[in-house]
Amino acid sequence: MSSIDVPLTKRGFGETRRTDNWWVEPLYIFLGYLAFIIYANWSLLTPTHFHFVGGGADYISPMYSPLLTQEGPVSASGLTTDPGPTPSWWPSFMPIAFSPAMLILIFPLAFRFTCYYYRGAYYKGWWMDPPSCAVGEPRNKYLGEKYFPLIFQNVHRYALYAAIVFIFLLAYDGWKALWFGPEGNKHFGVHVGSLVLILNPILLGMYTFGCHSLRHLIGGKKDVLSDSPARKKCYDCVSGLNKNHMKWAWISMFYVGFVDFYVRMCASGTWTDWSIF
Ligand code: FES
């Protein structure tokens, strides 16, 4: 059988023979992440207005849930203005103020940043390794995820457990967003904010329960799934969500930012939380 030798040509960074707009997708990914990173950092460093209690509501921003410290005094109209007290263990030499979100976001962010989809996306959009298929990369060697620093990507399977716990915590926040009035005498109601908070764990669930690690955990070890009907059903559900993992990753990420923004707008008195019934 005849064979052809195809010489491998080492290309410089960004060099390619592709003629399509290969750079559009990495550019969108870069801008999308940048927007979220800027917003999440701003929210983390601004520990005010993350808990709305006006009109007897109880809305907690997902970036500050579970509620570790309360905010400052609540005004007569239910608005908060100051960050809560700084814990005594927070070092005084720290150049930034304590924010409870620092202790919370570490878990969902560890899950997101090690997600198999996100890796595929930001290795192109941010790491440029390579910027796209058949496009020259800026490094001479690739050590892979067996070596520092990418070896940390292996925490994903453990971060998954924390992410599942957060789904339940946020679902509880959604439930609390349906009750209004003074403590001990709350009544059921639905406001715009109730719907905003309830949708959050649903979208996060669509993302989290489509995780590749979860899929492996449920069915990956079995050669034959048909002899375990319950396991097969779960595996099919995770596989169904997994098909749209990219879509749920983006939607749920931006929606978390929106919920945080909504709570902040209500708690600062900028927006009115309209009652539906
Ligand atoms: Fe994306 Fe696990 S692979 S969340």
Q: 51-109 pLDDT, tens per residue?
A: 999 889 999 999 999 988 776 666 666 666 666 677 788 888 887 888 889 999 999 99
Q: Which atom of ligand 1 is nearest to the CA of 212?
A: 3
Q: What is the pLDDT of residues 218-228, one digit of tens each?
A: 988 788 888 88
> What average pLDDT does the segment 207-224 reach?
91
Q: Which atom of ligand 1 is nearest to the CA of 116?
A: 3
Tell the burial category of 231 from Cβ atoms under 10 Å away from its Cβ (0-12, 13-18, 19+). middle
Ligand 1 atom 1, closest CA: 115
Q: What is each CA distance from 72 to 40, 91, 103, in whole angstroms?
A: 21, 20, 19
> What average pLDDT does the segment 151-174 reach?
96
Q: Is the CB of 170 under 6 A from ligand 1?
A: no
Q: Is the CB of 115 under 6 A from ligand 1?
A: yes
pLDDT for 65: 92
pLDDT for 91: 83
Instruction: Render the burial of 71-86: b for 16+ CB within 10 Å, e for the rest.
Output: beebeeebbbeebbee
Report the 10 Å Cβ neighbour count for 138: 12
Tokens of residue 87, six digits: 């814990």
pLDDT for 81: 62
Q: Is the CB of 250 under 6 A from ligand 1?
A: no
Q: How many angstroms separate the CA atoms of 83 and 57, rounded?
A: 19
pLDDT for 141: 74
Question: Which one-letter DSSP state was computed for residue 45?
Answer: T
CA of 212 relative to ligand 1 center, distance in Å = 5
CA proximity to 25, closest of 258, 272, 250, 277: 250
Confidence tier at 29 by pLDDT (50, 70, 90): confident
Q: Is the CB of 213 under 6 A from ligand 1?
A: yes
The mean pLDDT value of the chain amounts to: 88
- Tell me, yes or no, if the pTM score tops 0.85: yes
Q: Is the CB of 117 under 6 A from ligand 1?
A: yes
Report the 10 Å Cβ neighbour count for 39: 17
**Which of 153, 203, 212, 256 has most ligand 1 atoms within 8 Å of CB, for mutation?**
212
Inter-axis angle of helices 116-125 and 24-44, nearest 10: 110
Q: Which of 45-49, 120-124, 168-172, 189-193 has the lowest mean pLDDT?
A: 120-124
